[in-house]
């Protein structure tokens, strides 16, 4: 209970800071738009786009996500704020969870912008299965966000931090991205889910649960040196 309250406190503080400075949202948003425009040169606006649209979108999310996650703990470095937080009653687990929550909200905002632009640029109607699509986005985004928070914490004091984070998290995200891409592809091409596809939803849930648990378990190890 206390962990959740503290996590919300951290998330709210991070979102307030982000709204004021717009450091990561501007970068991530601009990046997403540029990539979507570049994709339009690479692929014809045809039926083909519904096939690859899922993959395209999740790659944009993962890459733009890295820009958000790099700032996540780096934001605590000036003035040694990270030390101050760790010396307070706040537990490392709640700190990581709070960062993940803030990442989650920022990434979702970025995803919403991306999919609207994607729909316009490539003439894809993505609103037909909006309920299922939201669920897939939420589950996928949480998984990316929690890993982003953990490895944001793990790399925060390393030299070459910005390079290290993507090298480590993209391979780890492979199963999540496969599942999210499969499901998004399905929903964009207006097919309904078969029982076989629930397997992918289950995979997303397992990924989220397992890595959230692991993150909370190892938060102390990662943050207290």
Q: Please give the residue ranges that form the binding site for other proteins (CB under 8 A).
A: 6, 9, 13, 16-17, 20-21, 78-81, 83-90, 150, 154-155, 157-160, 164, 167-168, 170-172, 174-175, 178-179, 199-200, 203, 206-207, 210-211, 214, 218, 221-222, 224-225
Q: How many CB atoms lie within 10 A of CB 104?
A: 21
Closer Cβ to other proteins, 48 or 84, answer by number: 84
Please, what's the largest Cα pairwise distance for the chain? Answer: 56
- The CB-of-86 to other proteins minimum distance in angstroms stands at 5
The separation between the first and the last C-alpha atoms of the chain, rounded to the nearest angstrom, is 26
- The CB-of-106 to other proteins minimum distance in angstroms stands at 16
**Tokens of residue 1, six digits:** 């209970």
- The CB-of-217 to other proteins minimum distance in angstroms stands at 9
Closer Cβ to other proteins, 119 or 175, answer by number: 175
Q: Give the position of tokens 């316009």.
A: 120
- The CB-of-135 to other proteins minimum distance in angstroms stands at 18
Closer Cβ to other proteins, 111 or 182, answer by number: 182
Closer Cβ to other proteins, 90 or 101, answer by number: 90
Scored b (16 or more CB within 10 A) or e, 111-135 reads bebbbebbeeebebebeebeebbee
Q: How far apart are CA 102 and CA 7, in angstroms?
A: 9
């Amino acid at each position: 209970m206390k962990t959740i309250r503290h996590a919300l406190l951290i998330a709210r503080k991070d979102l307030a800071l982000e709204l004021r400075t717009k450091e990561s949202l501007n970068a991530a948003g601009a990046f997403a738009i540029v990539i979507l425009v570049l994709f339009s040169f690479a692929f014809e606006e045809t039926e083909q786009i519904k096939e690859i649209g899922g993959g395209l979108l999740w790659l944009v999310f993962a890459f733009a996500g890295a820009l958000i996650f790099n700032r996540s703990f780096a934001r605590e470095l000036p003035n040694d704020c990270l030390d101050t937080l760790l010396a307070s009653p706040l537990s490392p687990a709640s700190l990581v969870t709070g960062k993940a929550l803030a990442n989650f909200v920022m990434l979702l905002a970025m995803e919403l912008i991306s999919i609207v632009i994607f729909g316009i640029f490539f003439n894809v109607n993505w609103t037909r299965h909006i309920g299922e699509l939201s669920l897939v986005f939420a589950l996928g985004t949480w998984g990316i966000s929690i890993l982003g928070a953990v490895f944001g914490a793990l790399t925060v004091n390393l030299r070459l931090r910005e390079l290290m984070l993507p090298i480590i998290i993209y391979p780890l995200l492979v199963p999540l991205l496969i599942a999210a891409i499969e499901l998004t592809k399905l929903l964009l091409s207006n097919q309904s889910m078969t029982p076989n596809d629930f397997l992918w939803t289950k995979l997303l849930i397992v990924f989220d649960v397992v890595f959230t648990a692991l993150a909370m378990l190892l938060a102390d190890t990662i943050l207290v040196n």
